[in-house]
Amino acid sequence: MRPTLSWTPTGEVPPGTTDVGPVTDALSSGGVLVLSGAGLSTESGIPDYRGEGGSLSRHTPMTYQDFTASAQARRRYWARSHLGWRTFGGARPNSGHRAVAAFDRHGLLAGVITQNVDGLHQAAGSEDVVELHGSLERVVCLSCGAISPRRTLARRLEEANAGFEPTAAAINPDGDADLTDEQVRDFRVLSCTVCDGILKPDVVFFGESVPPQRVERCRAMVREASALLVLGSSLTVMSGLRFVRQAAQADRPVLIVNRDPTRGDQYAVTRVALPLGATLTAVADRLGVTVDK
């Protein structure tokens, strides 16, 4: 299954606003559930998929079917991902992540669902975070199911591929670096230390389903929330859009902060078309919530 690159509105798209009042009001009442996407992490140096200059304009992420079917595809993935991890693993939370963590500390949130795999919400201090698409911090064996830290595999790959220092054209939001087939030709892929099985990052690839129990946990969070606040997601794919639809059907207000129109705008009471970091910091100031520097 190829990734969804875009969506076409079926009707008039509601315009964005610069008024953060509705977002401030919703948070002041507490019980708000955050749904975050790649746009929240762009200020940390991680590009998004579909925004202006998004990576999908030049890069198609690995699919689960390609990864499991082809040793050559796995070599290409792990070589590119190993190089990308050096940059991706060093990313730090930005003011948007820190503002969400501050809202959480002050008891204003019902939790966080993130479509991101970068772990930056937790690094900023958020605690009740559901990683909808998994995390690049972990590696899973497709044979025995053993979970291991990504940093452990990174050290093993460094040792097995001494001198692997290609220059990447770009780093993508899934931690993948743009390299040519020639650059990855001699990269050595490693297997599970427990059973010698195939290793895969513990993330949901395109063409792979989010585990049902994880989806149900998110649905339960939506049911219990007073409102849904979407941050930096185009909502192009159903994995996030379904929760927006659920909230709207249950008469939970949906508020979106995203500079560009989203597939969920028709369900939202407002879309704030402003940069995320500055906007969330301004909302925190209005609420008297201190955001860590």
pLDDT band at 59 (very low <50, low <70, confident <90, very high): low
pLDDT given for residue 38 in this prediction: 92
With 70 as the cut, is the pLDDT of residue 3 above it?
no
- Residue 78: exposure state from Cβ atoms within 10 A (0-12, 13-18, ≥19): buried
209 is in an annotated binding site: no
Tell me the mean pLDDT in the region 172-180. 73
pLDDT given for residue 9 in this prediction: 67
56 is in an annotated binding site: yes
pLDDT band at 170 (very low <50, low <70, confident <90, very high): low
141 is in an annotated binding site: yes
Q: What are the tokens at 247? A: 């909230």
| DSSP characters over the chain | ---------SSPPPPPB---HHHHHHHHH--EEEEE-GGGGGGGT---SSSTT-GGGT--PPBHHHHHH-HHHHHHHHHHHHHHHHHHTT----HHHHHHHHHHHTT-EEEEEE---S-HHHHHT--SEEETTEEEEEEEETTT--EEEHHHHHHHHHHHTTT--PPPS-B-TTS-B---HHHHTTPPP---TTT---EEEEE--BTSPPPHHHHHHHHHHHHH-SEEEEES----SHHHHHHHHHHHHTT--EEEE-SS--TTGGG-SEEE-S-HHHHHHHHHHHHTPPPP-
pLDDT given for residue 174 in this prediction: 66
Q: What rounded mean pLDDT belongs to the chain? A: 90
**Number of Cβ atoms within 10 Å of the Cβ of 51:** 20
pLDDT given for residue 103 in this prediction: 98
111 has which bridge partners?
A: 33
173 is in an annotated binding site: no
Q: How many residues does the chain have?
A: 293
With 50 as the cut, is the pLDDT of residue 113 above it?
yes
With 90 as the cut, is the pLDDT of residue 13 above it?
no
Cα–Cα distance between 79 and 186 in angstroms, integer? 9
Cα–Cα distance between 280 and 42 in angstroms, integer? 14
What is the tens place of the pLDDT at every residue in 203-231?
A: 999 889 999 999 999 999 999 999 999 99
Cα–Cα distance between 58 and 72 in angstroms, integer? 21
By annotation, the residues acting in catalysis are 133
With 50 as the cut, is the pLDDT of residue 234 above it?
yes
Tell me the mean pLDDT in the region 118-143. 96
Q: Which of 259, 231, 280, 270 is nearest to 54 (CA)?
A: 259
pLDDT band at 194 (very low <50, low <70, confident <90, very high): very high
pLDDT given for residue 144 in this prediction: 98
What is the tens place of the pLDDT at every residue in 68-111?
A: 999 999 999 999 898 888 777 788 999 999 999 999 999 999 99
pLDDT given for residue 231 in this prediction: 98
With 50 as the cut, is the pLDDT of residue 57 above it?
no
37 is in an annotated binding site: yes
233 is in an annotated binding site: yes
Q: Which of 90, 92, 77, 261 is nearest to 174 (CA)?
A: 77
pLDDT given for residue 165 in this prediction: 84
The C-alpha R_g of the chain, in whole angstroms, comes to: 19
16 is in an annotated binding site: no
With 50 as the cut, is the pLDDT of residue 55 above it?
no
Q: Which of 284, 286, 222, 279 is nearest to 250 (CA)?
A: 222
33 is in an annotated binding site: no
With 70 as the cut, is the pLDDT of residue 49 above it?
no
118 is in an annotated binding site: yes
Cα–Cα distance between 248 and 252 in angstroms, integer? 5
Question: How far, rounded to the nearest angstrom, does the alpha carbon of residue 112 sit from its chain's CA centroid?
Answer: 12
Domains and CATH numbers, the chain: 16-46+93-133+209-293 (3.40.50.1220), 58-90+136-203 (3.30.1600)
